[in-house]
Chain A
C-alpha cells in the first residue's frame, strides 16, 4: 500500500500533471461511471443466461440488447475513456512538457461520452449494428471518430513536441494506439455500415475489427502504462530493453491478422482462419519479449499499482497462451460458441482493465494533487476485484467446457446442458456481483479524493477573493 499520508501531494508531481489534471480527471471520472453502469448491465445480462424470463418483458432490456449495451459501455465508455487518459498522461510525462491544447480533451471527452450515451440509447431502442465489439448504431459512429480525433490531438502534440529527441517504449505503444484506432474504426465503419460489404465478408471485417480493438488499441495502451510505471516505481531499468522494439513491431505487424480465429468452420475460405491461427502463434513472440522486459512486475511488493499491474500482466500473458491454444481447430471444436469464449474475452479485456486500474491508482493522486483518502477502501477494492475476476473467468471457462463437450454429444438434450451449466453460471453471476461492488468502491473512492481536492481548492480561492474585496 502507498505509505504517503492522506492529503499530502505525492512525490514526483510537477507542472506536467497539474496542467492536464482537469481534462484527464474528466475522462477518468466518466470512465468510472461507465464502468459501474456497464458492470451492472453485465450482471443483469449474466442472470438472463440461465433465467431467460428475467426482464424479458421489457424490450429495452432483452438479452441481445443488454449484451450489446454492457459491451459498449465497458469497451467505449470505461476502457475508451480510461485508456485515453492513461495514454495521454504517459505521452505528456515522457514529452517532458505540460499538455498542449487541453481544451481538445475537454471538448472531445464531452462528445465522446455523449456519443457513448447515444449509442446505449440507440442500442436499447434496437439500432445496434449487430457486429460484436462494434454494436454502435450508424449515427453514433462518425460522432465517436471525431471525438476520438479531438482527444488524441494533445497526445500527438506531446509526441511531436517532446523535449527529448530519443523515445521510450511506452511512447511507441501509446502513440500507436492513438493513431491506429481512427484507422481501423473508420475502415470498419465504411465497410460494415456506410458502404457495407456483401455476405460473409462482413463477418471477416467484423472479427478483424474486434481483434484490432484489443491488439492495436487497448493492449498497446495497457502495455504503455506498464512500460512507463514499472521503472518509474521500482527505479530499475527495464531488463533486456534492447528487445522491446521487436516486441512492439511484432504486435503491430501480426496482431491485426488474428481476428479470423473466430471463423473456424464459418462459410469463409479456409485460408482466412488458417492465416489467423498461424499469426496467433507468431504474436507469442511479442508476449515473450514483453514478459522478459516487465518480469520485475511479478516481484512481490507492497505497492498497490504494481499489484494491479502484475495481475493484469499475468492475465495478458495467460490470455495469449489460452487464445493461441484454443484457436487450434482440435480444441475450438469444443469451445467455439460456448461460455468458454466469454471467459477468454473476460480474461483479455480484464487484463487491460486491471492494468488501467493500477495506472489510475498511480495517476489520480498526481493529477488531483492529493492522496487516496482511505487505505481500507483500496484494500477492499483490490480483494473484491481479484476474487471477482478470477471467479468469473474460472467459472465461465468450466461452464463453457461442460457446455461444449455436451453439445458435441447428440444424446444430450439442450435442457440437460442448461441444467449442467447452471450452477457454474450462478457462480459467475456472484463473481460479477462482486466485481460491481469493486467498481462502486473504486468509483466512490475516486470521487471522494477528487471531490475533496476540489472543495479545498475552491475554499482557498474563496478566501483569496474575499480578502481581495476587503482590501
Chain B
C-alpha cells in the first residue's frame, strides 16, 4: 500500500459509507456504553474518595467538617493508636518491639513505664545519641521532635502526644497511668527553645 493510498483509503473509512442496506453497526453503541461506564465509575470513585477536593484532607475516606463541629469525647487510646500508626510504627514496629540494635523497644522498658516527665520530654523535644534501654545500648538512637516546638517537624498538639503516650503505656501488656495534655503542656513550656535531649540530661529530670 503506498502512502497516498493509505491516507485516502482511511479517509474514506473515517467518513463512513452511506448505510444503504440498513446494516446496524454494533460497535459505536458498545463503545458509547463502555465510555459511559468508565466515566461513571471514575465519577463515582472521585465523588467517594476526593475529600471534596479539600487541600487539608489527606485521608481519602475523610470528609471535610461542615457547619457546627460535632463534639465527641475522644478515647485517648484510640487517638493514640492512630498517631502511633502514623509515625512511631516506622521504627518501633507495630508490636512495639523496635529493631534490635537500631531502635529501642517500648514494651516493659523503664523509660516508658518510669518517669512521666522524661517520657514526655523525649517525645516533645526529641532524643539524640546513645541511650541504654533494658540493659542494651542503642548508640545511634535519634528520635525527632514531635511537639509544637521550634524545629519540630511533626507539630503534634499536646492532646495528640498525651494520647500516644497513654497508648504506649497501656498497650502490649504495659500497665502504667495515663498522661494528660496538661502534663505535656507543662513539660513543653518548662523547656522553651530546647534541642534534642541526651541520656544524661534526661536522667537529671525528676
Interface residue from A168, A270, A271 paired with B10 (Cβ < 8 Å): A168
Is A275 interfacial (CB 8 A cutoff)? Answer: yes
Report chain A residues within 8 Å CB of B27.
240, 243, 292
Contact B55 A237 (CB under 8 A): no
Q: Write the chain B residue with the least CB distance to A241.
A: B13
Give 1 or 0 for each of A258-271: 1 = CB within 8 Å of chain B CB.
00000000011111
Q: Given A96-B3, A274-B45, A288-B34, A269–B10 Cβ distance below 8 Å?
A: no
**Cα–Cα, bound, A29→B119 (Å):** 65
Contact A168 B6 (CB under 8 A): yes
- Which chain B residues numbered 54 to 94 have a C-beta less than 8 Å away from chain A? 54-60, 62, 93-94
Is A57 interfacial (CB 8 A cutoff)? Answer: no
Q: Given A166-B7, A289-B31, A292-B27, A410–B94 Cβ distance below 8 Å?
A: yes
Is B16 interfacial (CB 8 A cutoff)? Answer: yes
Contact A168 B7 (CB under 8 A): yes
Q: Given A270-B57, A281-B41, A166–B8 Cβ distance below 8 Å?
A: yes
Interface residue from A228, A243, A273, A275 paired with B31 (Cβ < 8 Å): A243
Give 1 or 0 for each of A274-290: 1 = CB within 8 Å of chain B CB.
11011101101100110
Minimum CB–CB distance from B151 to chain A (whole Å) comes to 17
Is B11 interfacial (CB 8 A cutoff)? Answer: yes
**Cα–Cα, bound, A273→B41 (Å):** 15
Q: Given A275-B46, A282-B42, A288-B31, A242–B14 Cβ distance below 8 Å?
A: yes
Is A156 interfacial (CB 8 A cutoff)? Answer: no
**Cα–Cα, bound, A235→B10 (Å):** 12
Report chain A residues within 8 Å CB of B59.
270
**Cα–Cα, bound, A232→B7 (Å):** 11
Contact B60 A270 (CB under 8 A): yes
Contact A268 B58 (CB under 8 A): yes
**Cα–Cα, bound, A243→B31 (Å):** 9
- Which chain B residues numbered 162 to 190 have a C-beta less than 8 Å away from chain A? none
Minimum CB–CB distance from A417 to chain B (whole Å) comes to 13
Interface residue from B13, B39, B45, B51 paired with A269 (Cβ < 8 Å): B51
Contact B57 A96 (CB under 8 A): no
Give 1 or 0 for each of A238-267: 1 = CB within 8 Å of chain B CB.
101111111000000000000000000001
**Cα–Cα, bound, A292→B25 (Å):** 14
Report chain B residues within 8 Å CB of A138.
none
Report chain A residues within 8 Å CB of B45.
274, 277-278, 281
Q: Given A242-B16, A243-B27, A270-B49, A166–B11 Cβ distance below 8 Å?
A: yes
Please give the number of chain B residues whose Cβ is less than 8 angstroms from any Cβ of chain A in the complex.
Answer: 41
Is A100 interfacial (CB 8 A cutoff)? Answer: no
Contact B34 A169 (CB under 8 A): no
Report chain B residues within 8 Å CB of A237.
9-10, 13
Is A132 interfacial (CB 8 A cutoff)? Answer: no
Q: Given A240-B27, A268-B58, A164–B10 Cβ distance below 8 Å?
A: no
Minimum CB–CB distance from B44 to chain A (whole Å) comes to 9
Minimum CB–CB distance from A361 to chain B (whole Å) comes to 18
Q: Write the chain B residue with the least CB distance to A268.
A: B58
Q: Given A270-B58, A271-B50, A281–B10 Cβ distance below 8 Å?
A: no
Contact A278 B46 (CB under 8 A): yes
Report chain A residues within 8 Å CB of B95.
410-411
Contact A274 B50 (CB under 8 A): yes
Report chain B residues within 8 Å CB of A278.
41-43, 45-46
Q: Write the chain A residue with the least CB distance to B42.
A: A278
Report chain B residues within 8 Å CB of A93.
3
**Cα–Cα, bound, A167→B14 (Å):** 11
Contact A285 B35 (CB under 8 A): yes
Minimum CB–CB distance from B114 to chain A (whole Å) comes to 26
Q: Write the chain A residue with the least CB distance to B45.
A: A278
**Cα–Cα, bound, A319→B166 (Å):** 47
Q: Given A238-B10, A274-B49, A329–B60 Cβ distance below 8 Å?
A: yes
Report chain B residues within 8 Å CB of A411.
95
**Cα–Cα, bound, A231→B56 (Å):** 52
Q: Write the chain B residue with the least CB distance to A328.
A: B45
Is A210 interfacial (CB 8 A cutoff)? Answer: no
Give 1 or 0 for each of A381-404: 1 = CB within 8 Å of chain B CB.
000000000000000000000000
Q: Write the chain A residue with the least CB distance to B9.
A: A237
Report chain A residues within 8 Å CB of B46.
271, 274-275, 278
Is A94 interfacial (CB 8 A cutoff)? Answer: yes
Is B193 interfacial (CB 8 A cutoff)? Answer: no
Minimum CB–CB distance from B126 to chain A (whole Å) comes to 20
Report chain A residues within 8 Å CB of B53.
269, 271
Contact A169 B10 (CB under 8 A): yes
Report chain B residues within 8 Å CB of A94.
3, 6-7
- Which chain B residues numbered 8 to 43 have a C-beta less than 8 Å away from chain A? 8-11, 13-16, 27-28, 31, 34-35, 38-39, 41-43
Is B4 interfacial (CB 8 A cutoff)? Answer: yes
**Cα–Cα, bound, A207→B27 (Å):** 35
Is B205 interfacial (CB 8 A cutoff)? Answer: no
Is B1 interfacial (CB 8 A cutoff)? Answer: yes
**Cα–Cα, bound, A275→B49 (Å):** 9
**Cα–Cα, bound, A314→B51 (Å):** 36
**Cα–Cα, bound, A274→B61 (Å):** 11
Q: Write the chain B residue with the least CB distance to A237.
A: B9
Minimum CB–CB distance from B100 to chain A (whole Å) comes to 9
**Cα–Cα, bound, A452→B56 (Å):** 64
Contact A96 B4 (CB under 8 A): yes
**Cα–Cα, bound, A231→B10 (Å):** 10
**Cα–Cα, bound, A411→B93 (Å):** 9
Q: Write the chain A residue with the least CB distance to B61.
A: A270
Give 1 or 0 for each of A207-241: 1 = CB within 8 Å of chain B CB.
00000000000000000000010011001011011
Given contacts A168-B6, A268-B58, A288-B34, 19 further A-B contacts (CB under 8 A): A94-B6, A96-B4, A164-B4, A164-B7, A164-B8, A166-B11, A168-B10, A169-B10, A228-B6, A231-B6, A267-B58, A269-B56, A270-B57, A271-B49, A277-B45, A278-B43, A282-B38, A282-B39, A289-B31
| Interchain Cβ contacts under 8 Å between A and B, 10 examples | A166-B11, A235-B1, A242-B14, A242-B16, A281-B38, A281-B45, A282-B38, A282-B42, A289-B31, A411-B95
The list of the 5 closest CB pairs from A to B, nearest first, reads A278-B42, A270-B60, A270-B51, A274-B49, A241-B13
